[in-house]
Every structure is written in structure tokens, then in C-alpha cells.
Amino acid sequence: MTTGRPARILIIAGSDSGGGAGIQADIKTVTMLGGHAMTAVTAITAQNTLGVDAVHMIPTQMVIDQISAVVSDIGVDAVKIGMIGNADTANAVADSLAALYCPIIFDPVMVATSGAVLADADTIAAFERLMRLATLTTPNLPELDALGGKDALLARGFPLLIKGGHADGDNIIDTLHLTPGQSESWSDARIQTQSTHGTGCTLASAIATGLGQGMELVPAIARARLFVRLALRDAPGFGQGHGPMGHQLVREDAMVAGPSLNHVTVGCRDYAASVNFYKSLGLDLIVDSPSSGYARFEAPNGVTFSIHLSENVASLTIVYFESKRLDAWVTELASQGFAFEQLPQDESWGWREARLLDPAGNIVCLYKAGENRRYPDWRI
């Protein structure tokens, strides 16, 4: 996702033997986003998608020794804190991080998705020291209540990203509160799946990675939320309970600022023959609309390709470059003298697009689509 030296992300959290949450989800997230994941394991759990069978706390000194070993030699660009284990470890971790001048994301893990309690009252009370150090604390709604509520935390100066997944409704709303009265929200349709184990761990690690890579907080959160949603959509369906997400299938193009070449449309004169041809090449048909003469395919690496029925085949050849900063990009290009056939506008299929011609007259589309590129409503 990045070039040059990867950001060094220290993860302080518990291990999940099922690989869905905790250190395992954190490592996968940091790695897929181009960071270098380092760990200080606070607890070992025996768990699967159905629940936590056993927990073994790592001695506090061993947790601190792991942190010291990493900091003294490799260095740290950002820290993610998850499951702590006990109050002694929480206080010791706070002491060890006090001299670090880097972003810290604290995910105050208290209860596993399965319902297992992972933090007692003394540990929760010790969380205040970690929240004082944190660039951002990311509680879900039950965790927010256990910590004293939004107003009380903001009054004490703790920046919060309140995760709304536990609220009722078809949309999930996450809200960033930096100070009382200063907030920003994101709202997306709820993805109906049981494979939600590790969503909080993944979100916090993704934010930490973005900050460690030099991103500002708001775009780091936006990218992290997209990563979580794509991982939910690509969940493998393992286990009988709350299964793991599909971190390994989140594609690079969804995570980079751009420009990213990831879609081409070409014209065709025989719809059925063209569909069969590209399926025979090994592409996966993900949109099939014979009535409109449009089909879209996906390659194993996530790149998409479409055909559109037309007698004037050449006029339908379009190359697509995606950018998360589409409007700013178009403004920059226009200031350099590029003439646009279409300035950025929201399209009915969920993309925001601008169009221009290259020197040979080929259509070039600059766009922003997010998860709608691979997962439009009409996907097969």
C-alpha cells in the first residue's frame, strides 16, 4: 500500500487462537495496509467462533519487556492497544508508553463478540490512564457506557470514535468526537453477516497504521472503515458462530489514495460471444445485464473489466483511474490546463466521475467508488 520504509506499528493486545480477532486480526490488518506489525502479547486465549474457552494472562513484566525490546531497537511509528488483561498491566503499559511521541489508538476491549468478559472492574478503572495517552479511543456503545458515557469522557478531554454497530437500524453510524461540540460522522448500510469477529480490533489497527504512515486522522478513519467493510464482505464463512473476516482479500486499489488503474470498459458487437470469451479467459462474471448490453468481470487480483454492446465499438473504450481525492485531483489537473468533458459528479450507479480525453481521443474516466466498485447493489 505504501512505498519506501513501512510504518512500524506496535500492537499491544491478546492472542486469539481462532485467528479472527486480537493480535492475529491486528497483524493481518497492518500487513495488508503496508505496515510492519510488531507485538506485545498481553494474554493467550483458547477461543473459536463460538466463544472463549480459556484465558492465560501474560505476566506484566513480560508484556513490558516485549514493548521495551521493540522500542529500543526497531522503533515505533504508532501504537494500537487492545485487550490489556488486568489493571497492573494497564498501568505498566501506560508507564512504558508515556515517553513515546507517536499516535496511540486505544480500543478498550472488555467483552468478546461471543460475550466473554475480557476486562474486570479494576482493569476498566485503569483504562483512564491509557485514554489520557491515546490520540483516539474507539469504544463501541456498551464499552462507552462502561467507561462513563460520552459526555463524561469528552469533558475529561478524551478524543473518541464511537462505533455504532451495537445500535439498532439498517445503517451503522460511527462518530468522531475530538472535543465537546466538534464531531464528524460516517454512515453506511449494515452488512448482514455473522462474520463480525474482530471488527473493532481491525478498525483500530487500521487507524493506527494510517496515522503511522503520516495520514491525518479523518482520512485514516475513512480508510480504516472501508477496510473493515471490504473484509466483512470477503469473509470466508468459517465456524459455526461469529466468524472471522476476510482481511486477506481486501484489495490494494481500495486502500491507496490514487491514482489507481483498476477498471477498463470496451465495446462489443456480440454480447453473448463476448461474455463467453472473457469467462473462458478465467474472469469471474459479476454483473450480467443482457437487456442493457452490459457485463462486468473481476480478475483474481480484484481488477474489474466490463463490456458494453454497441455498433460503434471504439466509442465505448474507457480507461478508469480511481482516486480517493478525486475532486482535489481534478482541480489540480484543470489548473494545469487539462480540459474536462465532465467535471466530478455523482452517478446513479454509486460512483463519482469526471471524464477527459487523452491526446489520441481515448476516453479517460477519473472516479471515486470505494466498496461500490467491487460490490455494487447489482452484483451477482
Q: Among all residues, which ones are annotated catalytic? A: 163, 196, 198-201
- What residue type is assigned to position 21 of the chain? A
- Residue closest to 20 by CA, chosen among 249, 245, 248, 250: 245
Q: HEC states along 21-61? A: CHHHHHHHHHHHCCCEEEEEEEEEEEECCCCEEEEEECCHH
Distance CA 261, CA 322 (A): 7
As to burial, measured by CB atoms within 10 angstroms (0-12 exposed, 13-18 middle, 19+ buried), residue 115 is exposed
Distance CA 75, CA 99 (A): 12
Residue 364: all three cell numbers together: 479517460
Distance CA 85, CA 63 (A): 11
Residue 78 has a CB neighbour count (10 Å cut-off) of 27
